[in-house]
Amino acid sequence: MNDRAPSRQRAISVVLAGGGTAGHVEPAMAVADALTALDPDVRITALGTERGLETRLVPERGYHLELITPVPLPRKLSGDLLRLPMRVRRAVRQTRAVLDDVGADVVIGFGGYVALPAYLAARRRVPVVVHEANASAGLANRVGARSARRVLSAVDDPGLGDVEVVGVPVRSAITSLDRAALRAEARAYFGFDADARVLLVFGGSQGAQSLNRAVSAAAKDLAAAGVSVLHAYGAKNTLDIGDSATDGVPYVAVPYLTRMDLAYSAADLAICRSGAMTVAEVTAVGLPAVYVPLPIGNGEQRLNALPVVNAGGGLIVDDADLSPGFVAETVVGLLTDTGRMQTMTAAAALAGHRDAARRVAEVALDVARSPNRKSKR
């Protein structure tokens, strides 16, 4: 008798390849939660590297983590580029060992350092589902999509050929959020009046200095218009808003926000970057936003925000154009235009994908249970 029962008679084994940054790890963890909700017996293994955020985030969520050699692609000719083939071979060997050890039935890849070796290790062995969160796919997912059974994405054309648009998987604490029901509690938590107009400002976990400078310099104008501010400026930054500048209108400045659910519920409008996860969360809760794409990279942050903006759920302003004057005129103008705010709020909600994590999980389980599990595309 075989040591391992046929896959249809044992718990399905899913390997998640999405390590490195929060933009890769968080969607993977949201899908892990959705998988366990759909099939409590599912066995989940996350791949990661010793220097990625997954070393903290995956164990915190209660999932098993296996570490492999990271395979970052150098952007210029260097020693790292010359060593790349050796690193890829080592990482692929390590990943094959993990796939064999856990009896993987499907690999779900989200891009990043661990996705490329996962795709190569799974080829002709384990079916692959690729998820692309950004509007412009990276190298790892471009490689994985060539042999994947299913390719899922946040937008229509991320550069991977035919895709199934499902949105970006977001944790259930956000997708289940009822902003209207929590509004009074959220505003009391941060010290705002129940009927205040509230602007939420955040630039990711590290903050964004251009957002910090522009909004803080417009504090007097915001206060004069009766706009309260909740501003997460980043743990490595400082922000000093004098009481005289706000004239008694609350300007709550904190290094970071531990209760994003309450922050989203308290706010009427956000000023934020437009990374894939930020856009996904903001639209999932139906919060209109002024998106300020990161001014470096290949322009993917602007592309991430465009579908929401085109739907009427937000605005895009270039980082160089985000000035105190823009905040005082355009942002204040939005917040004080009740009709436009209602229209933007409805459009933002329609642009979101609250069920993305569940849809990715359903696809993965369908692939794992398919009698014809050989990867093909």
pTM for this entry: 0.86
Other CB atoms within 10 Å distance of the CB of residue 361:
25
CA angle 315, 321, 324 (to 5 degrees): 95
The response to whether 19 counts as a known ligand-binding position is no
Do 7-170+355-369 and 173-351 agree at the fold level? Answer: yes
Is residue 365 packed enough to be buried (19+ CB in 10 Å), middle (13-18) or exposed (0-12)? buried
Q: Provide the residue ranges of all domains of the chain, joining segments of one domain with +.
A: 7-170+355-369, 173-351
Cross-strand pairs, 15: 45, 107
Instruction: Name the 3-class secondary structure at 139.
Output: helix
Q: What is the pLDDT of residues 123-140, one digit of tens each?
A: 989 999 999 999 989 889
One-letter amino acid identity for 337?
A: D
Other CB atoms within 10 Å distance of the CB of residue 295:
12
Q: What is the pLDDT of residues 137-152, one digit of tens each?
A: 988 999 999 999 999 9
CATH class as words, domain 7-170+355-369: alpha beta
CATH topology of domain 173-351: Rossmann fold (3.40.50)
The response to whether 171 counts as a known ligand-binding position is yes
The response to whether 205 counts as a known ligand-binding position is yes
> How high is the pLDDT of residue 6?
43
pLDDT level of residue 36 (50, 70, 90 thresholds):
very high
> How high is the pLDDT of residue 94?
96
What integer best gives the mean pLDDT of the chain? 90
> How high is the pLDDT of residue 53?
83
**The length of the chain, given as a count of residues:** 377
Residue 75 has pLDDT above 90, yes or no: no
R_g over Cα of the chain? 22
